[in-house]
């Protein structure tokens, strides 16, 4: 069984910090894989390629992430930048999937 990393507050050495970051990165990639699964579902469900890009939805998703960042007292500008890239990457992926599904 894999030992769980220490919480950030309980880390006293850099190896402990790194183990926590590495474990969290694995979790983040797993969550991203799940998120991209939703993009595949969206590509399957949307009846029109024009429906893939939704600027109002994009703005809403980024604003929600920024609000969460602020609630957790982490840098909102960094989160906004990350989410901009994440949403644009998701849209590109959804276009690819939409085209693949409809061949």
Closest CA to 93 of 72, 16, 19, 85: 85
Q: How far apart are CA 9 and CA 77, in angstroms?
A: 24
Mean pLDDT of the chain: 96
Share of the chain above pLDDT 90, in %: 95
CATH superfamily ID and name for 13-102: Chorismate mutase (1.20.59.10)
* Angstrom distances, CA of residue 15 to CA of 73, 96, 101: 25, 40, 45
Residues recorded for the chain: 103
> Would you say 31 and 89 are in contact if contact means Cβ atoms under 8 Å apart?
no
Mean pLDDT, rounded, for 14-26: 97
**Quick check: 1 pLDDT over 60?**
no
Domain spans, the chain: 13-102
pLDDT at 3 over 80: no
**Distance (Å, rounded) from C-alpha 82 to C-alpha 69?**
11
What token pair was written down for 4?
């769980």
Residues 52, 47: Cα–Cα separation, whole Å: 9
- Per residue in 77-99, pLDDT tens? 999 999 999 999 999 999 999 99
Mean pLDDT in residue range 67-80? 98
Cα separation, 63 vs 59, in Å, equals 6
Amino acid 103: pLDDT = 81
């Amino acid at each position: 069984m894999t030992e769980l990393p220490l919480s950030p507050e309980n880390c006293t050495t850099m190896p402990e910090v790194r183990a926590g970051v590495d474990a969290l990165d694995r979790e983040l990639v797993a969550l991203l894989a799940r998120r991209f699964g939703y993009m595949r579902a969206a590509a399957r469900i949307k009846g029109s390629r024009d429906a893939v890009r939704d600027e109002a939805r994009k703005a809403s998703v980024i604003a929600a992430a920024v609000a969460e960042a602020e609630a957790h007292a982490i840098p909102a500008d960094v989160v906004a930048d990350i989410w901009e890239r994440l949403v644009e990457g998701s849209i590109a992926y959804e276009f690819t999937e939409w085209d693949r599904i409809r061949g």
